[in-house]
Chains A and B, each alone.
Chain A
Amino acid sequence: MRRVVLLLYFISIFLFSCQQPTERNVDPNFVLCLFNKDESPTSFLLVESLDEDKSSTAVQIPLSTSRIREREYIQKHGFFYRLSNRNNVFTKYQIQGSSLVLVDSLQLNNSNFETFSWIDDEHLVAVSREDVQEKKSQARVYQIDVKSMKIVRQDTIILPYATDEFWALHVGLVHVDKDDLWLAYSFFKSKGKYGHTTSDTTYYATLDYRSFQLKNIQKETRSTYPGGFNIIQSYSFEDEKGDYYFMTNPGIALGNNIKLPTAIFRKMKGQSLVDEAFMIDISAAVGNHAYGLWYVGEGKAIIRNEQKELYTDFSNHHSVYQFEYRLVDLASGKIEKIPFPLDKGTQKENVWSDKKYIYAAIDDANDDHRVWKYNLQTKEVTKGIKLPSSTNYTVRLDYLK
């Protein structure tokens, strides 16, 4: 297959080798990650603007062909960070012109990050789960200075409450607030050959970040699965006041304990514990599970919900046009539907906001691939840039600046 892809690639280069590009100096503000039709390589589309009316320049970069993990990267200020699951090397890439160039790399001991957050622009905190030894559930925490690509601190933490039945750990969220390192986690078990389900409880662990000593564990039984592989999609944010909000995801596509609701929770700034008085029950309000949580300013966040009457099971969850976008008022819990076209693709990181508009890259039922805009003041929906017709799924939209 790769030979065919390569052949087509070189034929296309041959056919268009006489083409003189007119505007090649793109200074991109955004990058969209596109899964393309006909198994052609995943690509980055670099654009200056998401607005349709501006004659924005754009350039597309093909990535390699092994794309099952190609959307699993961390992007910050135009740098792309990625952990190889084959050799445990943490790499840093940068877009230079129309190329993605390897800048630096760092050897780690783990092959997958379960979750991450940024302490500041230069310090990444990332958590992996480690092999269970003597039935203890271990998480490995790394703080990496991404400017010098050095490990600032790292340690292994044993997280309690695994049972004989639910023994496998998923660390969903990590957050650093002053000297506290806070983790949200849950336990899952295998079901059949490929399936899994999550236990009914979410755990929040607070540690002293200097000593890595466990300070306390808080249990939450109203919802479960705060994530466990949150590299792809956003599930948490800090608002203007520094209060931290996050969403649990027990739906079929993530935790797979569908009786419990998708819900938004809050940890107030300076508090070690999650605010037990606060919970927005998304499933009760919209009758479905949701995935993805993006803050758009002024106490409002976007969620992306599935529609259980439109998909049947894992076989078509990603391919049916079912995903809706809703605006959640965090203070009142009021949820409002945004009239975007129905979208396809499970777990997409495709929402960005400049606090005036919400931009969402949507793959709709007319095979139209486009960024759509929602005006937060007027509630008007308008069209943004159209994406190449070769697109199948627009899996990410990242702001580079």
Chain B
Amino acid sequence: MKINPDMLHKYASGQCSEDEKLLVEKWLESDSWDSIEEQEVVAEEVGKSIWHGVSEQTVATRRISWAKITAAAAVLFILGFSFLHFRQETLDSLSFANESLGETKFFVRENYDVLLGGNSNVKIDLVNNKLLFSGDFILKPKCDFKLLDADQNTLVFKAGREYFVSDSPDFGKIVAFQKSDLAFLPSSMQIKIREQFQSI
């Protein structure tokens, strides 16, 4: 079975079978650099959608389609309103520990997922917005929040992103790098982070 746009549509809308879900997740986690098997179909759509954004930047004289912008804004407003209306936030204060030296531990919670590095512990207090930890962890927030670390620095976490958080003196201070920022670190640092957190 190969990955195709239909399957990704189904995955995005939660309609995949377990087998398909596994296959898509494997594809997403793989080191594949090209896009989807059915290049033409996706390329067509991608080209169309991206063209709009790019041409606004590069071609000076293009008319703005207010009808489409209004439609898009309306859809986004309804989506946003639904999120705010139906979401019931329960703020909590939780502690996690991983005493093993090398292996990571994964915790799934309501407001975030935590992948805790070896010999690390963390207390995430969403009630008082405080973060106490030692070691390293990957944080995947499911909602936006800000936490004050032990050095009284405010760390901002946004839903849907991945953060590498570490108090290693090798970085100079407590760091919460977004996944993309890790690409700017020296290669040996990147390799060591990848060795510890395979999923990054």
Contact = CB atoms under 8 A, between A and B. Distances in A.
A97 B52 contact: no
Contacts of A68: 179-180, 182-183, 190, 194, 200
Interface stretch (A189-197, A207-215, A278-286): A189-197
A4 B162 CA distance: 12
Contacts of A101: 34, 39
A98 B12 contact: no
A387 B140 contact: no
B68 interface: yes
A194 to B, nearest CB: 4
Given A24-B51, A68-B190, A68-B200, A7 B12 contact: yes
Interface stretch (A13-21, A178-186, A302-310, A355-363): A13-21
A195 B193 CA distance: 11
B82 to A, nearest CB: 14
Nearest to B9: A10
Interface stretch (B40-48, B92-100, B102-110, B124-132): B40-48
A100 B136 CA distance: 36
A353 interface: no
Contacts, number: 211
Contacts of B72: 15
B85 interface: no
Contacts of A67: 179-180, 183
Interface in B141-200: 159-162, 166, 168-173, 175, 177-194, 200
B26 to A, nearest CB: 12
Interface residues of B, number: 68
A86 B51 contact: no
Interface string B41-64: 011011111111111011110000
A194 B47 contact: no
Contact of B58 (A5, A43, A385): A385
A172 to B, nearest CB: 11
Contact of B171 (A66, A314, A318, A319): A314
Given A24-B47, A55-B59, A194-B193, A15 B187 contact: no
Contacts of A112: 187, 191
Contacts of A192: 168-170
Given A99-B43, A192-B170, A85 B179 contact: no
A6 B11 contact: yes
Given A22-B55, A192-B168, A65 B75 contact: no
Interface in B1-50: 8-9, 11-12, 28-35, 39-40, 42-43, 45-50
A61 interface: yes
Nearest to A188: B188
Contacts of B39: 96, 99, 101
A313 to B, nearest CB: 3
B84 interface: no
Interface of B: 8-9, 11-12, 28-35, 39-40, 42-43, 45-55, 57-60, 68, 71-72, 75, 136, 140, 159-162, 166, 168-173, 175, 177-194, 200
Given A17-B45, A59-B51, 19 more contacts: A1-B140, A1-B160, A13-B46, A15-B75, A22-B55, A39-B179, A59-B50, A61-B46, A84-B31, A86-B30, A96-B39, A97-B40, A98-B46, A99-B43, A196-B186, A229-B187, A229-B188, A256-B186, A395-B183
6 contacts: A19-B51, A22-B55, A63-B35, A99-B40, A312-B172, A395-B183
